[in-house]
């Protein structure tokens, strides 16, 4: 083999290796995204979906209790991009196989509809039902909207299952607290309208008396709420699992920690957990 042929072979091999390195680097560049880019990527994909389904579970933990209580399961279906139907159910008691209602009065199930309008999810049914208004917090699409519209820190979690990307999203505590305060005040205001509607069902001869009692009750409750909100702090952490193939959310969990002081001066600590899984994308 002459020197010219040998040099030519070396050049070909070198060029081949160089091309492989470029291809590998290009693949890495295509695959690698920052955590913020991953969130924006999945957000864009979700915005293009006309319909989807989800199912989840929420649990509340108070104080130093080891066990989570007041579990609620929920399912939902988005249609036509803007119409959302949600059903919530208090889980069955495993020992009896019956729906557990003792901790929540006669409540066991609830169905309600929301519609995306004016930049938010608006109740289209049960508008004056305070239980339903509270349950709308379980809406995972609202949670994703909250993430999008709030200052946050996004990092990538290690050890994600194959084919997925997991983001840890921590909302700015000040903004998270302010958003929660605004929502609680809005719910209290809605409660006042709800009481007015119920007043219409009272016998005319008793309406004046009942109205005074209801106004006194609402005013007292609102004052207590305002007092508690003065010293309330909220911290919200989400974990978003993204399907790498589709770029769409596969799972969204949240941990909302709230610390506040009651009207009587007692310090309280509560944590709300939610865990939602998505499917049925179209």
Q: Exposed/middle/buried for 242, CB within 10 Å: 0-12, 13-18, 19+?
A: buried
Judge contact between 244 and 164, C-beta under 8 A: yes
The answer, as to whether pTM is greater than 0.85, is: no
Per-residue confidence (pLDDT) for residue 91, from 0 to 100: 61
**CA separation for the pair 135, 160 (Å, rounded):** 30
Token pair belonging to 73: 């399961």
Residues, the chain: 282
Q: Which residues of the chain have pLDDT under 50?
A: 4, 6, 8, 11-12, 15, 17-30, 94-106
Q: In the block, which residue shows the tokens 């508008």?
A: 127
Q: Quickly name the fold that domain 35-279 has.
A: outer membrane lipoprotein receptor (LolB), chain A (2.50.20)
Per-residue confidence (pLDDT) for residue 128, from 0 to 100: 67
Cβ neighbours of residue 20 closer than 8 Å, sequence gap 6 or more? none
- The closest alpha carbon to 31, from 222, 214, 247, 190, belongs to 247
């Amino acid at each position: 083999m002459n020197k010219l042929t040998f040099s030519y072979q070396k050049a070909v091999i070198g060029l081949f290796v160089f091309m492989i390195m470029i291809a590998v680097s290009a693949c890495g560049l295509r695959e690698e995204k920052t955590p913020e880019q991953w969130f924006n990527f999945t957000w864009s994909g979700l915005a293009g979906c006309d319909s989807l389904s989800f199912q989840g579970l929420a649990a509340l933990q108070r104080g130093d209790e080891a066990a989570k209580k007041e579990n609620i399961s929920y399912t939902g279906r988005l249609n036509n991009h803007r119409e959302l139907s949600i059903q919530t159910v208090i889980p069955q008691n495993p020992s009896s196989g019956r729906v557990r209602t003792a901790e929540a009065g006669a409540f066991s199930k609830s169905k309600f509809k929301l519609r995306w309008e004016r930049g938010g999810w608006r109740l289209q049914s049960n508008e004056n039902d305070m239980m339903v208004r509270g349950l709308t917090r379980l809406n995972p699409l609202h949670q994703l909207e909250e993430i999008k519209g709030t200052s946050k820190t996004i990092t990538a979690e290690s050890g994600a299952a194959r084919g997925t990307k997991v983001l840890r999203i921590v909302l700015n505590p000040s903004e998270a607290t302010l958003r929660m305060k605004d929502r609680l005040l809005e719910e209290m205001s809605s409660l006042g309208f709800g009481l007015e509607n119920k007043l219409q069902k009272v016998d005319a001869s008793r309406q004046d008396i009942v109205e005074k009692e209801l106004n006194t009750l609402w005013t007292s409750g609102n004052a207590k709420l305002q007092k508690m909100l003065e010293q309330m702090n909220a911290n919200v952490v989400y974990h978003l699992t993204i399907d790498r193939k589709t770029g769409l959310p596969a799972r969204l969990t949240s941990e909302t920690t709230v610390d506040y002081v009651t009207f009587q001066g007692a310090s309280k600590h509560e944590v709300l957990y939610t865990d939602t899984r998505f499917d049925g994308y179209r």
